[in-house]
């Protein structure tokens, strides 16, 4: 054990803890998928503000949709929407009723969507800070993190508390200058322990969250043997008290396993019907029935090798392709418990691309009780192109009950279309 660097000791134990954010969120495969959909959502907010159609309310807005998607990112972002909720007595955050402030907020997001350097991001933050918009503070960093994860660390009360605990700083909530000062300190901590962290500042954000929320005591900052011993004892108790967190992780893994199982059903069904099958690029190595989910499937997706749009299409859960032409004829997004929004966004790139003409079906595959959520999301104007292609809802129950008979007696797309439900 490296007694000369107690923070390194904490980091190693934190990385190995099955209930800490490093394993439950940072290494969660769905986390990476959501970057694309959240970026797309931010672009939608910018477009509506520019067009003057954003409106004067948070509820029902495109901003609510993406903040809700962020809040679903496991425990670290729970409550992310609080800062954006309209507080009528305080009239904050003042980006709903004040058109100029709303446009300034849109310019901040637009700049950060388009820029590529740290200097540009900091300049955009300084510009919005200079306007002193009531209630619009560093919580916006949670949006910017999903645009620039190596530049902007996430932000919430627990992260601030964790940073103050580790560094003896006194960062206050609600001020951009305090946040930017904390950011400099976070970058220094990250650089000093890069071998145990990541260029993605979500990792150190997760550590600070776990310290600030009380899961981990901070290591002593003085060379105090008694304090060190007490701290080591506290760390041992964290492990002993991890049963509840381990149960939560097991439930999360069960969700992932269910997601993989459904993908496997769709893989096997597509192959039995004579299609080539593509499994999402980041899912193909998942274990399934003693093998890999990508077994028997395409190892490359014809025509989708480069570019941001192709990258999103390659992340669609399951694609069926016509063998002779290699055209995509069916797309499936499995949404077990995550945001329906994210799956539709990935399909949107396909719907807007050159392959749309060959599509015979786009399917949102979800538990039987999620049809209402699917319909609500598809009613959004931003998804009109997907809706035009007659995306269908395929309940787990219908797929489970009919997949074997379809595989045995079915042909082409008609059987799968017959058990799916039209939504428009």
CB 393 within 8 A of CB 344: no
Question: What's the pLDDT score for residue 240?
Answer: 55
Residue 206 has pLDDT above 90, yes or no: yes
- Helices and strands (DSSP H and E) totals, the chain: 18, 8
pLDDT in tens, 233-270: 654 554 454 445 445 445 555 565 688 999 999 999 99
Q: Are strands 361-366 and 392-395 parallel, antiparallel or unpaired?
A: parallel
Token pair 């192109």 is found at 385
Q: Residue 38 is encoded by which pair of tokens?
A: 């959240």
**Shortest CA distance to 346 belongs to which of 303, 368, 373, 317?**
317
Q: Residue 336 and residue 334: Cα distance in Å, rounded? A: 6
Strand order in the sheet with 318-321: 276-279, 318-321, 328-334, 361-366, 392-395, 421-422
Which pLDDT score is estimated for 231? 45
Separation of alpha carbons 71 and 414, rounded Å: 38
For residue 301, the SS3 value is coil
Segment 66-100, tens digit of pLDDT: 898 888 777 788 888 889 999 988 899 999 999 99
Secondary element (H or E) of residue 365: strand 361-366
Place of tokens 């690029």: 281
- pLDDT, one tens digit per residue, over 151-202 is 999 999 999 999 989 888 888 888 898 899 899 889 989 999 999 999 999 9
The C-alpha atoms of residue 120 and residue 142 are separated, in whole angstroms, by 17
Q: How far is CA 355 from the centre of its chain?
A: 26
Distance between CA 30 and CA 259 in Å, rounded? 11
Angle subtended at Cα 320 by Cα 314 and Cα 326, rounded to the nearest 5 degrees? 85
User: Dihedral sign, CA of 271, 276, 280, 281?
Assistant: positive
Buried b (16+ CB within 10 A) or exposed e, 357-391: eebbbbbbbbeeebeebbeebbebebbeebbebeb
Tokens representing 308? 């941001």
- Structure token digits, residue 383: 């998804």
User: Among 145-154, 357-366, 383-392, 406-415, whose mean pLDDT is lowest?
Assistant: 383-392
Q: Does a cis peptide bond (omega within 30 degrees of 0) precede residue 93?
A: yes
| pTM (two decimals) | 0.66
Q: How far apart are CA 64 and CA 72, in angstroms?
A: 12
* Residue 389 pLDDT greater than 90, yes or no: no
Q: Work out the pLDDT band at 225, boundaries 50, 70, 90.
A: low
> Whole-angstrom Cα distance, residue 411 to residue 44?
39
Q: Which residue is associated with the tokens 């803890």?
A: 17
DSSP summary character for residue 354: G
- What lies within 8 Å, CB to CB, of 28 at 6+ separation is 74, 252
Which pLDDT belongs to residue 238? 47
Q: CA 307 to CA 281: how far, in whole Å? A: 15
Least confident of 84-88, 295-299, 312-316, 352-356: 352-356
């Amino acid at each position: 054990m490296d007694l000369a660097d107690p923070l390194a000791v904490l980091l190693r134990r934190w990385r190995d803890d099955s209930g800490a954010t490093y394993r439950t969120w940072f290494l969660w495969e769905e986390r990476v998928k959501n970057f694309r959909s959240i970026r797309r959502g931010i672009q939608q907010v910018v477009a509506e503000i520019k067009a003057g159609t954003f409106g004067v309310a948070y509820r029902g807005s495109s901003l609510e949709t993406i903040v809700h998607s962020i809040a679903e990112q496991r425990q670290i972002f729970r409550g992310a929407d609080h800062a954006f909720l309209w507080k009528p007595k305080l009239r904050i955050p003042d980006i709903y009723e004040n058109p100029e402030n709303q446009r300034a907020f849109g310019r901040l997001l637009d700049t950060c969507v388009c820029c590529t350097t740290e200097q540009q991001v900091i300049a955009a933050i300084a510009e919005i800070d200079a306007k002193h918009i009531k209630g619009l503070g560093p919580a916006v960093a949670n949006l910017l993190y999903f645009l620039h994860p190596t530049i902007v660390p996430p932000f919430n009360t627990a992260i601030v508390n964790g940073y103050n605990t580790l560094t003896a700083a006194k960062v206050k909530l609600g001020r951009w200058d305090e946040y930017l000062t904390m950011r400099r300190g976070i970058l220094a901590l990250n650089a000093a322990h890069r071998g145990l962290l990541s260029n993605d500042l979500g990792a150190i954000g997760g550590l600070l969250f776990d310290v600030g929320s009380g899961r981990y005591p901070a290591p002593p900052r003085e060379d105090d043997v008694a304090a060190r011993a007490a701290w080591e004892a506290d760390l041992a108790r964290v492990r002993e008290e991890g049963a509840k967190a381990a149960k939560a992780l097991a439930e999360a893994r069960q969700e992932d396993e269910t997601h993989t199982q459904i993908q496997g059903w769709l893989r096997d069904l597509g192959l039995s019907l004579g299609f080539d099958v593509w499994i999402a690029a980041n899912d193909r190595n998942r274990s399934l029935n003693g093998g890999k989910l990508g077994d028997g499937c395409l190892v490359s997706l014809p025509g989708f090798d480069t570019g941001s749009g192709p990258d999103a299409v390659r992340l669609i859960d399951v694609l069926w392709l016509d063998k002779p032409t290699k055209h995509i004829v069916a797309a499936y997004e499995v949404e077990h418990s995550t945001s329906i929004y994210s799956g539709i966004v990935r399909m949107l790139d396909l719907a807007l691309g050159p392959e749309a003409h060959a599509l015979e079906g786009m399917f949102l595959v979800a538990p039987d009780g999620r049809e209402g959520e699917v319909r609500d999301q598809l009613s959004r104007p931003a998804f009109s192109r997907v809706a035009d292609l007659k995306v269908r809802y395929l309940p787990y129950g219908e797929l489970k009950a009919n997949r074997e008979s379809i595989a045995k007696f079915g042909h082409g797309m008609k059987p799968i279309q017959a058990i799916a439900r039209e939504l428009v």
